[in-house]
Amino acid sequence: MNRQQQNGIGHRKSLKQNGHCEEPSWPSTDTWDDVIPLPKLSFKRSAWVIFTLAVICFANSYDGDFVFDDSEAVTGNKDLKPETPLLSLFHHDFWGRKLDSKTSHKSYRPLTVLTFRWSYSLAGGLYPMNFHIINIILHGIVSVLMLATFSLLMAGCEVRDGRPIFGCPRAALFSGVLFAVHPVHTESIAAVVGRADLLCALFFILSFLGYIKACLKDIDDESLYRPSSASILWLIVSMLLCAVSVMCKEQGITVIGIISAYDILIICKIDLLEIIGIKSQTETIKADEQEFVKPWKKCLLFRHIILLISGLIILTTRWRIMGSTTPTFQVFDNPHSFVNGSFFRALNYNYLYSINSWLLVNPWWLCFDWSMGCIPVIESLSDWRIVVVIVFWIILASLLFTSLNGILNQQKRNITMALAFLIIPFLPATNLFFRVGFVIAERALYLPTAGFCIIVVTGVSKLCQDKDKREIIRYCIYYLVLMFVIRSVHRSDQWRQEMPLFLSGAKVCSLNAKVHYNIAKLNGDKGNADIAIEKYRLAIELNEEYDQAMNNLGNILKEKGDLKEAEKLLLKAVNIRDDFAAAWMNLGIVQASLHKNNSAEKSYYTALKHRKRYPDCYYNLGNMYLEMGKNQLAIQAFRNATQQKPDHVNAWGNMVILLDNIGLTTEAEKVGKEALQYNSDPSLLFNLANVLGKQDKFKESEVVFLKAIQQSNKDSRMYANLGVLYHRWGKFEAAVKAYTTALQLDPSLDTTKDNLRMVHRKMEKAQRK
């Protein structure tokens, strides 16, 4: 037996007379690839085309802001800051929370956060352009790697000089272009948090390519077919890359499923239906079994044992890291997963799968958030949307039947691998293994898009068998790509800023309470209170248990003086969610303003029961005690706030002022100096300077005043009180200068006018003497 036969490797040959064979005779990929009306380019040229298109489509997001989830995962994530220990990244979730926290979503992606930290360090701060440019480049790299992957998926692995050649160049180019420009990728690229998907996909593909490298051991110029040996080193490298992918995003574990499918269907060309007896074995397969039953099967089994053990180790480690518990989500995060009854729950899940599939086909229908009523729950068999589910399964079943029926050729294997790429990477988002915190997430479709691209290309190849249609199909291909490019450019422009993004969401999901909530919040932050109130009311109308919207609306109404309605809304919010600490604190503020001090005190302490570290709550509690004249309790509350948050400016300031007002000036000075160890805010300098001046420590007070003025030279109070210091010190000319500057900044300071007249009289009196 020659070396090819010993290794279980051979070129495509027909059955020999002695009953022995090498690889079964499948139709050449050239036949179905050549009919696709696209130019035949080298891998290098195809890669440049794809990288260029991938960058062009999403380039206009390079100067976008931090939007939507970026505010929590990036701008509000302390793990990005240099002062945070690097090891903290490996103990916190994607959002910077401790993994054992009740509020943690258990999304463990430390390597993605590490790249955020690098971006922060390189840019010298939170400058979004640096973050966005990296995302765009990553998508270009992933798209090029996908080109190589499409070639291996659709043409198998032909080897020259120990390296795979670029097979089915037209089909691979078309698939790569579709993947590079698909608009559903916009969220993964234009949103900084989408880097998790990009990095996961990068190492996902590298893991896949590493596995193929492992199977190429001892192969120089042959087809990769049923190898009887594999490189242990490259198998380990492949599984390590899988682990890295998982540490970027959980979806990375599914590469093991893709590798297994590729190994069985493409490398070993096994027809599973023949193995289990549903289909009768062909003579070629029978003869093939007789010759190669021992070496290649043992190696296939060995490779799959490695895959199984690696997968179990990664999953077990991941499970232990997240505390062996699943994350907790609320009904509005994913209402379909809370539907009563297994039948209707499964029906709703399948409807969501059909919507995800539709987004791949029609990416004009995109939204940044699909929760809270965006897709109403199916609760009755009379709901017309059940037809959508039926159509979805008819199409899926048709694809499965086409891929498995009859003798399996390369095109049928294309469809099977396309389905594998559509389904396997999407499994973590299906709610089948655990409840997820979203209804639909466009980011979850980044990898499954590859399967969609293969199906489209295979279908086009089938249509192109008719030569008369090829020219029309060529223009259809160009039109499809052009439409995808236009949509991607437009969609990435919407992702540049939050307001256009939120408004676009309102057009797609007008029933989504969260979309209107985000529009309201953004308007509230910009001071557009009336629009914010209108949108908050609409959000509550759409979702009567939207406690967060009630809390925010209550805050705005509180600021406008409508305390009664604010109290009503906040009471409803805490009744809906009794551990809503922020709502309890805000309720306490409103009740204190209504002079319901006993109720307010109870609300504050309820907030502190649900959130142990809550410095703002202690601060507001201290303010209430201050109004009630309970000075010691107020001081203790302010002290608790500063212990939990040492740079809490307002708590330090109120504590200094209170101690000063009750005559404890020495203690006030001590606290004021302690505050400056944590924060040199000008208001803290101002308060300390006043305390020092009252103790006749004029020189020290002057130094502190001047430091405060350096930071806030437009604050009339600074100059007015500095004038008082000089006035009491006897430095009348300096006092006049300070008073004059204060009045220039604020002519309405009547007390300063009186002080200025007084110092002028003293100066005139001194001159007469």
Q: Are 304 and 263 in contact (CB under 8 A)?
A: yes
CA pseudo-torsion sign 123, 129, 131, 134: negative
Of 619, 7, 650, 65, whose CA–CA distance to 292 is shortest? 7
pLDDT at position 613, please?
A: 92
Among 213-217, 233-237, 506-510, 680-684, the range scoring the smallest mean pLDDT is 213-217
Phi, psi angle pair for 437, to nearest 5°: -95, 30
Structure-block tokens of residue 149: 């992957």
What integer best gives the mean pLDDT of the chain?
A: 88
Higher pLDDT, 405 or 360: 360
Of 315, 303, 310, whose CA–CA distance to 213 is shortest? 303
pLDDT at position 334, please?
A: 85
Q: What would the mean pLDDT of 616-625 be, rounded to a whole number?
A: 96
Q: What would the mean pLDDT of 98-120 be, rounded to a whole number?
A: 87
Residue 737's pLDDT band, with cuts at 50, 70 and 90, is very high
Among 21-35, 170-184, 531-545, 698-712, the range scoring the smallest mean pLDDT is 21-35
Question: Which residues constitute the domain of residue 308?
Answer: 35-321
pLDDT at position 89, please?
A: 87
Spell out the residues 6+ positions from residue 97 whose beta carbon is closer than 8 angstroms to its own: 103, 104
pLDDT at 639 over 70: yes
Structure-block tokens of residue 144: 């090029």
pLDDT at position 406, please?
A: 65
Beta partners for 92? 98
Of 542, 534, 63, whose CA–CA distance to 552 is shortest? 534
Residue 443 covered by a domain: no
Output 94-97 pairs: Cβ under 8 A, ≥24 positions apart: 94/193, 94/196, 96/72
Q: What would the mean pLDDT of 508-512 be, rounded to a whole number?
A: 90
Three-state DSSP state, 279: coil
**pLDDT tens digits for range 490-504:** 999 999 999 999 999
pLDDT at 99 over 90: no
Q: Which helix (H) or strand (E) holds 745?
A: helix 732-745
Percent of the chain, pLDDT > 90?
Answer: 66
Of 35, 42, 112, whose CA–CA distance to 73 is shortest? 112
pLDDT at 103 over 90: no
Of 154, 205, 145, whose CA–CA distance to 176 is shortest? 145
Phi, psi angle pair for 500, to nearest 5°: -60, -35
DSSP E strands, 49-165: 159-160, 163-164
> Rounded to an integer, what distance in angstroms lies between the CA atom of residue 409 and that of residue 31?
12
Residue 728 covered by a domain: no
Structure-block tokens of residue 687: 């308060």
pLDDT at position 4, please?
A: 35
Q: Are 61 and 136 in contact (CB under 8 A)?
A: yes
Three-state DSSP state, 391: helix
Three-state DSSP state, 624: helix
pLDDT at 216 over 90: no
pLDDT at position 277, please?
A: 54
Residue 94 covered by a domain: yes
Among 326-340, 487-501, 531-545, 567-581, the range scoring the smallest mean pLDDT is 326-340
> Rounded to an integer, what distance in angstroms lies between the CA atom of residue 47 and that of residue 50?
5
Residue 46 covered by a domain: yes
pLDDT at position 290, please?
A: 52
Q: What would the mean pLDDT of 61-75 be, rounded to a whole number?
A: 91
Residue 254: DSSP 8-state = G
Three-state DSSP state, 24: coil
Residue 95's pLDDT band, with cuts at 50, 70 and 90, is confident
> Rounded to an integer, what distance in angstroms lies between the CA atom of residue 149 and that of residue 285?
27
Q: Are 159 and 27 in contact (CB under 8 A)?
A: no
Of 582, 585, 573, whose CA–CA distance to 546 is shortest? 573
Beta partners for 159? 164
* Matching residue, tokens 């180790």: 313
* Matching residue, tokens 């929590």: 72
pLDDT at 8 over 50: no
Residue 472 covered by a domain: no
Residue 143's pLDDT band, with cuts at 50, 70 and 90, is very high
Number of independent structural domains in the chain: 1
Residue 281's pLDDT band, with cuts at 50, 70 and 90, is low
Of 356, 343, 228, 238, whose CA–CA distance to 297 is shortest? 228
Residue 34's pLDDT band, with cuts at 50, 70 and 90, is confident
Residue 127 covered by a domain: yes
pLDDT at 18 over 70: no
Most confidently modeled of 202-206, 440-444, 759-763? 202-206
Residue 184 covered by a domain: yes
Q: Which amino acid is at 85?
A: P
Higher pLDDT, 321 or 105: 321
State the angle between helix axes of 128-155 and 110-123 in degrees (0 to 180), rounded to the nearest 10: 140
Instruction: Write down how long the chain is.
Output: 769
Higher pLDDT, 163 or 506: 506
pLDDT at position 629, please?
A: 93
pLDDT at 9 over 70: no
pLDDT at position 162, please?
A: 65
Q: What is the CA radius of gyration of the chain?
A: 34
Percent of the chain, pLDDT > 70?
Answer: 91
Residue 25's pLDDT band, with cuts at 50, 70 and 90, is very low
Burial 284-315 (b: 16+ CB within 10 A, else e): bbebbeebbeebbbebbeebeebbeebbeebe
In three-state form (DSSP H/G/I as H, E/B as E, the rest C), the secondary structure along 645-690 is: CCCCHHHHHHHHHHHHHCCCHHHHHHHHHHHHCCCCCHHHHHHHHH
Higher pLDDT, 66 or 322: 66
pLDDT at 5 over 50: no
> Rounded to an integer, what distance in angstroms lies between the CA atom of residue 485 and that of residue 490?
9
DSSP 534-549: HHHHHHHHH-TT-HHH
Of 658, 660, 653, 728, whose CA–CA distance to 697 is shortest? 728
User: Which CA distances in Å does 600 have to 610, 625, 637?
Assistant: 16, 10, 14
DSSP 296-340: HHHHHHHHHHHHHHHHHHHHHHHHHHTTT------TTT-GGGG-S
Q: What would the mean pLDDT of 685-714 be, rounded to a whole number?
A: 92
Residue 273's pLDDT band, with cuts at 50, 70 and 90, is low
Q: Are 366 and 491 in contact (CB under 8 A)?
A: yes
Structure-block tokens of residue 764: 């005139």
Q: Which amino acid is at 176?
A: G
pLDDT at position 493, please?
A: 95
* Matching residue, tokens 């179905």: 32
Residue 33's pLDDT band, with cuts at 50, 70 and 90, is confident
Residue 441 covered by a domain: no
Q: Are 227 and 7 in contact (CB under 8 A)?
A: yes
pLDDT at position 30, please?
A: 46
pLDDT at 48 over 50: yes
pLDDT at position 28, please?
A: 43
pLDDT at position 12, please?
A: 37
Q: What would the mean pLDDT of 214-220 be, rounded to a whole number?
A: 76
